[in-house]
Amino acid sequence: MSESKVSVAPSERTVIGITFGNSNSSIACTVDDKAEVIANEDGDRQIPTILSYVDGDEYYGQQAKAFLVRNPKNTVAYFKDFLGKDFAAVDPTHNHASAHPEDADGTVAFTVQEKEEGEPSKLSVSEVTTRYLRRLIDAASEYLGKKVTSAVMTVPTNFNDKQKAALLAAAAAANLEVLQLINEPVAAALAYDARAEAEVQDKIVVVADLGGTRSDVAVVASRGGMYTILSTVHDYDFHGAALDKVLIDHFAKEFIKKHQVDPRENARSLAKLKAEAEGTKKALSLSTNASFSVESLANGIDFTSSINRLRYETIARSTFEGFTRLVDSAVKKAGLDALDIDEVILSGGTSHTPRIATNLGYLFPQTTKILAPATTPAAINPSELNARGAALQASLIQEYEAEDIDQSTHAAVTTVSHITNAIGVISLNEAGEEVFVPVVAPETAVPARRTVHVAAPKDGGDVLVKIVEGNTHIKVTKPEPKVKDESKTAKVEDADEEDGDDSDFDDDEEEEEEKREKVWKIGSTLAEAAIRGVKKGGKVEVTILVDANLAVTVTTREVGAKAGVRGTLSA
Ligand code: ATP
């Protein structure tokens, strides 16, 4: 693997953010500290990650995608996921209708008729990537009116070192300085947190990145502007292409019924079906009805039909449920409960689908914000989150020398160690019971310092401050059992059965839901400090510092007083 690296002096840089996806890519820049996704010369902000060679010319993006119908053999699509992988390890499922991946000394290559005449060329996946990145850089340079030199790029959280090295080498060959590779879920979280109206507060966020050929879910703790990834789930079965397939099968069956021909059996007909199914699917994200129309679908027969959203949601139900399960499993993997989640960020093109967002609403309590176009009108376009985050990060770090960025521990990018339990103080509530007041939230990245003020007793005097660990558990309160009218209940059940309604989303008025709430449990005591003779109405300031080795230093002093008590506990 080439070690070559492009290095540009900070003053010479023009930076952008790049998301290089298996289905689509995006480029973004910042204008007055705000991220903006750049439209290429075709006006596209989601640029299909596809290159096509026709009559000696190279096409990319939407124009190349159109050639999947007429020139599939010389069209290279879905290649990003092969970068840095051995040929033996790749899954060619998505490449049946375009150039096929081939073995090139153990790595992946594609053979295409690149020149108008002569022998076809065998292009390595690295070469294809370099050529594609050049097109993105050119589009961004044209838009900005100056040559783009450098970028922050996003990568999935399971991108390994070999894949990263291959991406960096491909970018270097395109003469691009990669300032940093950042994780996609962190980029998405950053895009939201960088908005002027955003309050930076400690929160636990689920980022569900639902793309065209894969879905990635990450649970991220955001603490004081630092992001820590708590768990990740990756899936290659539930994605946008699976939803396209549902529609392809639906309309193919309708066509067979009318014309006794299966259009899926002919490669060109299937490519037409796929292109139209994707368009219909996208239309169903915006309206409740969409048409489906293909000229000369099979045997020269034109086909026109339509589908409403309800029907679509019924036939795609098991796929939609798959997305919900992925999110649920990521939360469980992080050892958390739905109640712990403050926000769910829906990212990736498939997240435009209204049903996916509403289904997630049922998984979480009402207090959890579901950030998707269907549930939150102010949500950021899910297709733009990663590129925006990358552009924001690029503008933050562009002034650093390359070596300094390498060592940088900038908040947005580091996955640092973090504490598991909360650390806080014991305080007395109105009933005189001991309660836990969290000072440093669980999953806070270290080092971290937090300060609280604890009120002294009304008349002043000695104050004992107890520093303890705390963790949450879910308290379930069952509803009070109601006195039932047996005969009535039986009737209702019968009626339900006759109805044959198996909807999960029906409100059952008869059944009151149990109450689930998050409560603090006091854990082990870390330190106790006595502050003597605090003034009447005085306050004690408690500062907790957790260093990078997880050692805890507690300093307590009366507010306004100089002397204090300080103690350090090792991890
Ligand atoms: P991957 O790497 O998983 O292949 P990606 O990150 O390259 O995906 P995205 O642009 O995030 O690509 O997702 C592409 C998917 O999103 C496609 O299946 C596309 O049909 C789907 N999609 C885009 N817009 C919409 C929409 N408005 N409604 C529903 N699906 C959409």
DSSP string for residues in 253-314: HHHHHHHS--GGGSHHHHHHHHHHHHHHHHHHHHSSEEEEEEEEEETTEEEEEEEEHHHHHH
In 3D space, the residue among 6, 396, 382 whose CA is nearest the CA of residue 184 turns out to be 382
Distance, CA 384 to ligand 1 centroid (Å)?
Answer: 11
Q: Which atom of ligand 1 is nearest to the CA of 21?
A: 7
Q: Which atom of ligand 1 is nearest to the CA of 216?
A: 3
User: How buried is 105 (Cβ within 10 angstroms: 0-12 exposed, 13-18 middle, 19+ buried)?
Assistant: exposed
The residue nearest atom 24 of ligand 1, judged by CA position, is 349
Q: Which atom of ligand 1 is nearest to the CA of 94?
A: 4
The residue nearest atom 23 of ligand 1, judged by CA position, is 349
The residue nearest atom 22 of ligand 1, judged by CA position, is 349
Q: Which atom of ligand 1 is nearest to the CA of 80?
A: 2
- The pLDDT of 495-512, averaged and rounded, is 47
Distance, CA 145 to ligand 1 centroid (Å)?
Answer: 29
Mutation pick for ligand 1 pocket among 19, 22, 24, 46 (CB with most ligand atoms within 8 Å): 24
Q: What is the pLDDT of residue 410?
A: 47
Could you tell me if the CB of 211 is within 6 A of ligand 1? yes
Distance, CA 167 to ligand 1 centroid (Å)?
Answer: 21
The residue nearest atom 14 of ligand 1, judged by CA position, is 212
Q: What is the pLDDT of residue 490?
A: 45
Q: How far apart are CA 247 and CA 235, in angstroms?
A: 21
Could you tell me if the CB of 22 is within 6 A of ligand 1? yes
Tokens of 309: 């959203």
Flag the least confident range among 167-171, 340-344, 502-506: 502-506
Cα distances (angstroms) measured from residue 244 to each of 146, 210, 347, 350, 413? 39, 14, 18, 11, 34
Q: How far apart are CA 295 and CA 293, in angstroms?
A: 7
Q: Which atom of ligand 1 is nearest to the CA of 278?
A: 20
Could you tell me if the CB of 347 is within 6 A of ligand 1? no
Q: Which atom of ligand 1 is nearest to the CA of 25?
A: 7
- The pLDDT of 304-316, averaged and rounded, is 98
The residue nearest atom 26 of ligand 1, judged by CA position, is 282
Could you tell me if the CB of 383 is within 6 A of ligand 1? yes
Q: Parallel, antiparallel, or unpaired for β 564-569 and 289-298?
A: unpaired
Q: Parallel, antiparallel, or unpaired for β 15-20 and 150-155?
A: parallel
Distance, CA 499 to ligand 1 centroid (Å)?
Answer: 37
Q: How far apart are CA 192 and CA 345, in angstroms?
A: 9
Q: Which atom of ligand 1 is nearest to the CA of 81?
A: 2
In 3D space, the residue among 168, 140, 120, 150 whose CA is nearest the CA of residue 10 turns out to be 150
Distance, CA 150 to ligand 1 centroid (Å)?
Answer: 26
Could you tell me if the CB of 281 is within 6 A of ligand 1? yes
In 3D space, the residue among 315, 317, 322, 313 whose CA is nearest the CA of residue 252 turns out to be 315
- pLDDT per residue over 13-40, tens digit each? 999 999 999 999 999 999 998 999 999 9
Mutation pick for ligand 1 pocket among 320, 383, 386 (CB with most ligand atoms within 8 Å): 383
Q: Parallel, antiparallel, or unpaired for β 57-60 and 75-77?
A: unpaired
Instruction: Tell me the angle at which helices 240-259 and 317-333 cross, rounded to the nearest 10 degrees.
Output: 170
User: Which helix or strand (DSSP H or E) is residue 468 part of?
Assistant: strand 461-477
The residue nearest atom 16 of ligand 1, judged by CA position, is 349
On whether the CB atoms of residues 176 and 133 are closer than 8 A, the answer is: yes
Q: What is the pLDDT of residue 511?
A: 58
- pLDDT per residue over 515-568, tens digit each? 877 788 888 888 888 888 888 888 888 899 988 888 888 888 888 776 666 766
On whether the CB atoms of residues 504 and 321 are closer than 8 A, the answer is: no
User: What's the whole-number average pLDDT of the chain?
Assistant: 88
Distance, CA 366 to ligand 1 centroid (Å)?
Answer: 27
Mutation pick for ligand 1 pocket among 281, 380, 388 (CB with most ligand atoms within 8 Å): 281
Tokens of 495: 């009626």
On whether the CB atoms of residues 489 and 509 are closer than 8 A, the answer is: no
Could you tell me if the CB of 46 is within 6 A of ligand 1? yes
Flag the least confident range among 146-150, 313-317, 334-338, 513-517: 513-517
Q: How far apart are CA 203 and CA 451, in angstroms?
A: 18
Strand spans (E) along 15-130: 15-20, 24-31, 34-37, 47-48, 50-54, 57-60, 75-77, 102-104, 107-112, 121-124
In 3D space, the residue among 391, 349, 285, 404 whose CA is nearest the CA of residue 31 turns out to be 391
Number of H helices, E strands in the chain: 12, 27
Could you tell me if the CB of 353 is within 6 A of ligand 1? yes
Tell me the HSE value of 454 on the side-chain side, using a 13 A CA sphere: 32
The residue nearest atom 8 of ligand 1, judged by CA position, is 211
Distance, CA 148 to ligand 1 centroid (Å)?
Answer: 26
The residue nearest atom 3 of ligand 1, judged by CA position, is 211
Q: How far apart are CA 16 and CA 36, in angstroms?
A: 10
For the chain, which domains are there? 10-184+387-407 (3.30.420.40), 198-236+321-380 (3.30.420.40), 240-317 (3.90.640.10), 422-475+514-569 (2.60.34.10)
Q: What is the pLDDT of residue 500?
A: 42
User: How buried is 514 (Cβ within 10 angstroms: 0-12 exposed, 13-18 middle, 19+ buried)?
Assistant: exposed
Radius of gyration of the chain (CA): 28
With bands split at pLDDT 50, 70 and 90, how would you rate the model's confidence at 417?
Answer: low
* Distance from the first to the final alpha carbon of the chain: 41
Could you tell me if the CB of 278 is within 6 A of ligand 1? yes
Q: What is the pLDDT of residue 106?
A: 93
Q: What is the pLDDT of residue 437?
A: 87
559 vs 73: which has the higher pLDDT:
73
Q: 106 CB contacts (<8 Å, ≥6 apart)?
A: 86, 87, 88
Distance, CA 46 to ligand 1 centroid (Å)?
Answer: 9
AA identity, residue 419: I
Q: Which atom of ligand 1 is nearest to the CA of 281?
A: 29
- The pLDDT of 370-390, averaged and rounded, is 97
What burial letters (b/e) apply to 69-87, b meaning 16+ CB within 10 Å?
bebbbbbbbbbbbbbbbeb
Q: What is the pLDDT of residue 202?
A: 87
The residue nearest atom 30 of ligand 1, judged by CA position, is 350
Mutation pick for ligand 1 pocket among 18, 20, 23 (CB with most ligand atoms within 8 Å): 23
- pLDDT per residue over 255-304, tens digit each? 999 999 999 999 999 999 999 999 999 999 999 999 999 999 999 999 99
User: Which helix or strand (DSSP H or E) is residue 153 part of?
Assistant: strand 150-155
On whether the CB atoms of residues 180 and 207 are closer than 8 A, the answer is: no
Instruction: Tell me the angle at which helices 240-259 and 267-286 cross, rounded to the nearest 10 degrees.
Output: 120
Could you tell me if the CB of 355 is within 6 A of ligand 1? no
Q: Give the distance, in angstroms, between the CA of residue 506 and the centroid of all CA atoms in the same chain.
A: 30
Could you tell me if the CB of 285 is within 6 A of ligand 1? yes
Q: What is the pLDDT of residue 540?
A: 86
Tell me the HSE value of 94 on the side-chain side, using a 13 A CA sphere: 22
pLDDT at 307 over 70: yes
On whether the CB atoms of residues 352 and 383 are closer than 8 A, the answer is: yes
In 3D space, the residue among 1, 14, 259 whose CA is nearest the CA of residue 137 turns out to be 14
* pLDDT > 70 fraction of the chain, expressed in percent and rounded: 89
How high is the ipTM of this complex?
0.99
- pLDDT per residue over 436-467, tens digit each? 888 988 777 777 889 888 887 777 788 888 88
Does the pTM surpass 0.90? The reply is no
On whether the CB atoms of residues 469 and 513 are closer than 8 A, the answer is: no
In 3D space, the residue among 210, 257, 261, 262 whose CA is nearest the CA of residue 237 turns out to be 210
